[in-house]
């Protein structure tokens, strides 16, 4: 199994560290030629979604990656990655890939000072640490989207077909359970092809 990590901006190195910790090969996507490599899954990291969206288009990565996601490539979007996947943002007119049928509120918990960490249940995984850093949350999900976790009544993790979107940063903890769950999804999808 090989997982590509979008590395144009944000917390991509931390995701690579987690993947290395669980013995999964990974590489960085920085330019269009990186897409020539074969990969089984994609991680869209946290960071600044506006900058990531702009760079994806400038580097000619946006359309090829969107097509891959639409064709069933397993993807994990964390924080800004969730924003990139969302079909709509409730407090911003921009939308990016628009492949995940949810409505997301950007910076829902306020500025950096509003960042926090909790331990909460995530369906299929159990109790895990969840770090929220200038995090969004999911205001509404379409039919068929599975809610995986809520914190303070707000939806913070979902899954829809090949896509997992989460508000928090699992890559900044010592817990590898989210990355392991993503790998299980990849195996399931690969088995169906």
What is the spatial distance between Cα 98 and Cα 82, in angstroms, rounded to a whole number?
10
Dihedral sign from CA coordinates of 28, 32, 38, 43: positive
Q: Which of 14, 169, 175, 183 is catalytic?
A: 169
Q: Which of 14, 15, 26, 79 is catalytic?
A: 79
> Is 119 known to be catalytic?
no
> Is 171 known to be catalytic?
yes
Pairing of the two strands 86-89 and 126-132: unpaired
Closest by Cα among 53, 52, 45, 56 to 15: 45
With vertex at residue 100, the alpha carbon angle to CA 156 and CA 50, rounded to the nearest 5 degrees, is: 80
| 8 A C-beta contact, residue 78 and residue 42 | no
Tokens 């990186």 belong to: 34
Pairing of the two strands 25-29 and 2-6: parallel
Q: Which of 171, 175, 179, 183 is catalytic?
A: 171
- The encoded tokens of residue 138 equal 């999911």
> Is 169 known to be catalytic?
yes
Q: Catalogue the active-site residues.
A: 79, 169, 171
């Amino acid at each position: 199994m090989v997982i590509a990590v979008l590395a144009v901006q944000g917390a991509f190195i931390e995701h690579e560290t987690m993947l290395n910790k669980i013995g999964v090969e990974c590489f960085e996507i920085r330019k269009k030629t990186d897409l020539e490599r074969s990969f089984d899954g994609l991680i869209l990291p946290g960071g600044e979604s506006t900058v990531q969206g702009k760079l994806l288009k400038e580097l000619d990565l946006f359309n090829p990656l969107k097509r891959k996601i639409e064709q069933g490539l397993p993807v994990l979007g964390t924080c800004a990655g969730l924003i990139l996947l969302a079909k709509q943002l409730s407090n911003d007119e921009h939308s990016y890939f628009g492949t995940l049928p949810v409505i997301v509120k950007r910076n829902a918990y306020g500025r950096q000072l509003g960042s926090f960490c909790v331990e909460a249940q995530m369906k299929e995984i159990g109790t895990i640490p969840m770090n929220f850093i200038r995090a969004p949350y999911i205001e509404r999900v379409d039919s068929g989207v599975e809610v995986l976790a809520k914190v303070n009544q707000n939806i913070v993790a979902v899954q829809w077909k090949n896509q997992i979107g989460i508000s928090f940063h699992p890559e900044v903890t010592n817990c590898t359970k989210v990355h392991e769950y993503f790998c299980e999804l990849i195996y399931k999808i690969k088995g169906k092809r």
